[in-house]
Chain A
Amino acid sequence: QVQLVQSGAEVKKPGASVKVSCKASGYTFTAYYLHWARLAPGQGLEWMGWINPDGDTRYPQTFQGRVSMTRDTSISTAYMELNSLTSDDTAVYYCARDTGGNVFHIWGQGTMVTVSS
């Protein structure tokens, strides 16, 4: 069946980087936009950007220069790397497949990233 499976939990020090993976199965990986979002403790969902079927990316201003979304089409896997981590980046990170018009039917299970000294 169609699913997105994310990599496991990470613990990072302030200033470090984290790279989360999202492996797709059950559908043509290169046919859909893939978005990333995060949920920090006590906060709401925050959109982090997308990577489209052509490999182009778009990030909101809040993450410009600090986030990078890439993919390896040979293994149907997308990646989200976030740099210069602070404690404010402690959150659960999700990938989600966009069916079109920001319709996210399929979500990954989430990856907990903890930033602590």
Chain B
Amino acid sequence: QSALTQSRSVSGSPGQSVTISCIGTSSDVGGYNHVSWYQQHPGKAPKLMIYDVTKRPSGVPDRFSGSKSGNTASLTISGLQAEDEADYYCCSYAGFYTLFGGGTKLTVL
């Protein structure tokens, strides 16, 4: 039950697009379509941004999108805005267990 692998940091300028990757295995990311993504600002609780790989909860801008290929899931944020600066965590179902990624810090330049 190892954590999912995410790059530690990513950055982009306002208006640009960035993609955050989440690497797992065939026992988690690759084995189920239950990958979700969470945004967390300092001192706040995580917020659901994407679930079931590609679905967006109501209220989440369509600038946020998710995808998956094999054992790697991705979160793409297009049209970057200052308020997108936060930590992002992927999460995958893994049978009876849950795995989170190590988190990616997004900096909006």
Q: What residues of chain A have their CB less than 8 Å away from a CB belonging to chain B?
A: 35, 37, 39, 43-47, 50, 58, 60-62, 94, 96, 101-105, 107-110
Contacts and interface: CB of A to CB of B under 8 A. Distances in A.
Given A60-B1, A61-B1, A47 B97 contact: yes
B11 to A, nearest CB: 18
Contact of B45 (A43, A47, A107): A107
Nearest to B91: A102
Given A102-B91, A102-B93, A103-B51, A35 B45 contact: no
Q: B-side binding surface: helix, strand, loop or mixed?
A: strand
16 contacts: A44-B102, A45-B40, A45-B46, A45-B100, A45-B103, A47-B99, A47-B100, A60-B97, A61-B1, A94-B46, A101-B52, A102-B34, A102-B91, A104-B91, A108-B45, A110-B45
